[in-house]
A and B are shown apart, each in its own frame.
Chain A
Amino acid sequence: MTNGTAKLGTWAGAALLAVAIVLPFVVYPVFVMKALCFALFACAFNLLIGYVGLLSFGHAAYFGIGSYVTAYTVKAWALPPELGILLGTAVAALLGVVFGWLAIRRSGIYFAMVTLALAQMVYFYALQSPWTGGEDGIQAVPRGHLLGIFDLNEPLVMYFFVLGIFLLGFFIIHRTIHSPFGNVLKAIRENEPRAISLGYKTDQYKLLAFVLSAALSGLAGSTKSLVFQLASLTDVYWTMSGEVVLMTLVGGLGTVFGPVVGAFIVITMENYLARYGSWVTVIQGIVFVLCVLAFRRGVVGEIIAFVQRRTVRAPGAATPAHAPGE
């Protein structure tokens, strides 16, 4: 990544944070919270596809299980919200260990199909088992008091709690990408046989990335169940897996902010087009097709490419086109 894009990234991050702080005073907070949950979900998904090159088509499983576990434990066991969320995240991580262990043995379309099949099993489990409430889901989940002090029924308190979780998750992903581990992941994505020949047991790295991605997806689902006070079959259905793919692609695969932007675009569309009923899906489909045809790198990906082109063209820019020794 060049200096230009890195600097742009810092500025964009600061600007987005400022927007995030002001937004609940301008827009309906629940809408922004929903978008933040999905943004975290998309970022977690992007960790796997953007940085390891694995397309999972079953991420609803982790999002959904996190949502159900938190909703259930908070409602039935009267756990405090922070514990409920931790538990939801932990169960999603465990599920990620099992499913990941099975799925990483394959790549490409086979990997996608294995993850989809496993996620559908979770869907049927959620439909059939008694504790998940079947078609009804788990409703009227109490938000409770964070650490026994902060009343999460206050929309703004809840908002900043959700923003805090999003930032934490975002930071973990950002750090993971820029860690020694992240460096190995990039090497595996770039050339797996070569990484093996350098002595890396690539399956173990892929599995850890998979578990991290599942855990953070679970964190997003857990938080979502408190925001809406509801865990439902929608959370584990395959369309949810599709939606996160859509968000990531629209925003920009393999970019830091792409999934966030993509999530906000998709959620906004769903929200403001809701009155057109089932036309939402059609409009979404058209947007998706346009996106894939016109700007394949996604919104953020195109912006980065644009900035990079300008940096390259600018005179005196530090482009290593002609290194010494030629």
Chain B
Amino acid sequence: MSETILEAEGLTKEFAGFTAVNNVNLAVRRGTIHALIGPNGAGKTTVFNLLTKFLTPSAGVIRYKGRDITAMRPADVARLGIVRSFQISAVFPHLTVRENVRIALQRELGTSFHFWRSEKSLARLHGRADELIAAVGLAGYEDVLAVELPYGRKRALEIATTLALDPEMLLLDEPMAGLGHEDIDRISALIKKVAADRTVLMVEHNLSVVATLSDTITVLTRGRVLAEGDYETVSNNPEVREAYMGTGHA
């Protein structure tokens, strides 16, 4: 078994008397695709926001590569190499596809506060940006405004932008939400490709996607971990089956 890269211990989040996430332990192993599933309201997205520091946990510890990141701010977590996506596709709508990717690349130049410098100085990033755009199958769309892309391609653009940071770990919040069949196949293939040398943690509703992609699955209900294991183990777990009854999935 490979080493743990991201670890949560006793993770808890309370919202004014309501416990959304209750004492969750989670260990994501390096180089795997780990899926977080569960019925609506199970606290998946909350766990996600806690891990990326978009929410502050009420209790518990989060460790990334053995380092305690519980008190860190979201931008700092991103700089450590944990980059997240969002449920609603996260692009910059009125920037072009190339500008979207370039925003992610430009931070490395260290000139992001230089308001006196011409943006022409960013042109040297275009080669790398176009490579990333081509890698997700968006070649030819470089100068299109992101808002004009069909939904599936926005998702691809979002992945290209995320990859521009060369993160060690990707957190994908429902990457398939709102996608049509052909897009699901394309984005699945993309995630698989991307995960070859990275670690992926994703929240996903589409169980066939979860079944084909994930190495490990954690099932949440009512803010607690119900079961964990590979698809085989989890799908045969009677409690999991019961939790999913009536939601039309399992």
Question: Residues of A with Cβ closer than 8 Å to B?
Answer: 172, 175-176, 178-184, 186-187, 190-191, 193-202, 204-205, 208, 212, 320-321, 323-325
A residues in contact with B189, CB < 8 Å = none
| CB-based A-B contact count at 8 angstroms | 116
Contact (Cβ within 8 A) B78 A199: yes
Q: Report the minimum CB–CB distance from A189 to chain B (whole Å).
A: 9
29 pairs of residues in contact across A and B, judged by CB atoms under 8 Å: A178-B118, A179-B116, A180-B106, A180-B109, A180-B114, A181-B117, A183-B99, A183-B106, A183-B122, A184-B103, A191-B93, A196-B74, A197-B90, A198-B78, A198-B83, A198-B103, A199-B76, A200-B75, A200-B112, A201-B73, A204-B113, A205-B112, A208-B113, A320-B148, A321-B148, A323-B141, A323-B144, A324-B139, A325-B140
Out of B79, B116, B117, B141, which one reaches A199, CB within 8 Å?
Answer: B79
Q: Report the minimum CB–CB distance from A239 to chain B (whole Å).
A: 30
Q: Report the minimum CB–CB distance from B210 to chain A (whole Å).
A: 23
**CA A208 to CA B113, docked complex, whole Å:** 8
Question: Residues of B with Cβ closer than 8 Å to A?
Answer: 52, 54, 73-76, 78-79, 83-86, 90-95, 99, 102-104, 106-107, 109, 111-119, 121-122, 137-141, 143-144, 148, 161, 165
Using A193-B90, A197-B52, A197-B74 as known contacts, say yes or no to A180 and B83 having CB atoms under 8 A apart: no
Contact (Cβ within 8 A) A194 B90: yes
Contact (Cβ within 8 A) B84 A197: yes
Interface pairs A-B: 4 shortest CB-CB? A199-B78, A190-B92, A324-B140, A181-B115
Contact (Cβ within 8 A) B86 A194: yes
Q: Report the minimum CB–CB distance from B81 to chain A (whole Å).
A: 10
Contact (Cβ within 8 A) B75 A182: no
**CA A217 to CA B148, docked complex, whole Å:** 36
B residues in contact with A191, CB < 8 Å = 90-93
**CA A157 to CA B114, docked complex, whole Å:** 34
Using A197-B52, A197-B74, A323-B141 as known contacts, say yes or no to A179 and B119 having CB atoms under 8 A apart: yes
B residues in contact with A212, CB < 8 Å = 115
Q: Report the minimum CB–CB distance from B99 to chain A (whole Å).
A: 7
With A181-B114, A198-B161 already in contact, 10 other A-B pairs whose C-beta atoms are closer than 8 Å: A179-B116, A180-B122, A184-B103, A193-B54, A193-B86, A193-B90, A194-B91, A196-B78, A197-B84, A199-B107
A residues in contact with B52, CB < 8 Å = 197
Select the residue from A186, A190, A199, A325 with max chain B CB neighbours within 10 A. A199
Contact (Cβ within 8 A) B95 A190: yes
Contact (Cβ within 8 A) A179 B117: yes
Select the residue from A176, A202, A323 with max chain B CB neighbours within 10 A. A323
Contact (Cβ within 8 A) B118 A187: no
Contact (Cβ within 8 A) A186 B107: no
Q: Report the minimum CB–CB distance from A206 to chain B (whole Å).
A: 12
A residues in contact with B113, CB < 8 Å = 181, 204-205, 208
B residues in contact with A205, CB < 8 Å = 112-113
Q: Report the minimum CB–CB distance from B152 to chain A (whole Å).
A: 12
A residues in contact with B115, CB < 8 Å = 175-176, 179, 181-182, 208, 212
A residues in contact with B79, CB < 8 Å = 199
Contact (Cβ within 8 A) A184 B106: yes
B residues in contact with A324, CB < 8 Å = 139-140
B residues in contact with A201, CB < 8 Å = 73, 75
**CA A324 to CA B134, docked complex, whole Å:** 12
Using A175-B118, A183-B119, A186-B92 as known contacts, say yes or no to A198 and B104 having CB atoms under 8 A apart: yes
Out of B54, B112, B116, which one reaches A184, CB within 8 Å?
Answer: B112
Closest to A208 in B: B113
Contact (Cβ within 8 A) A200 B95: no
Closest to B96 in A: A320
Contact (Cβ within 8 A) B114 A179: yes
Q: Report the minimum CB–CB distance from A179 to chain B (whole Å).
A: 5
**CA A195 to CA B54, docked complex, whole Å:** 13
Contact (Cβ within 8 A) B144 A320: yes
A residues in contact with B86, CB < 8 Å = 193-194, 197
Q: Report the minimum CB–CB distance from B237 to chain A (whole Å).
A: 33
**CA A179 to CA B74, docked complex, whole Å:** 25
A residues in contact with B116, CB < 8 Å = 172, 175-176, 179
**CA A195 to CA B79, docked complex, whole Å:** 12
A residues in contact with B119, CB < 8 Å = 178-180, 182-183
**CA A178 to CA B118, docked complex, whole Å:** 6
**CA A197 to CA B141, docked complex, whole Å:** 24
B residues in contact with A325, CB < 8 Å = 137-141
Q: Report the minimum CB–CB distance from A43 to chain B (whole Å).
A: 14
Contact (Cβ within 8 A) A196 B112: no
Contact (Cβ within 8 A) A197 B144: no
Contact (Cβ within 8 A) B94 A190: yes
Q: Report the minimum CB–CB distance from A191 to chain B (whole Å).
A: 5
**CA A303 to CA B112, docked complex, whole Å:** 32
**CA A182 to CA B116, docked complex, whole Å:** 10
Q: Report the minimum CB–CB distance from B172 to chain A (whole Å).
A: 12
**CA A184 to CA B103, docked complex, whole Å:** 7
A residues in contact with B140, CB < 8 Å = 323-325
Q: Report the minimum CB–CB distance from B204 to chain A (whole Å).
A: 18
**CA A201 to CA B76, docked complex, whole Å:** 8
Closest to B90 in A: A194
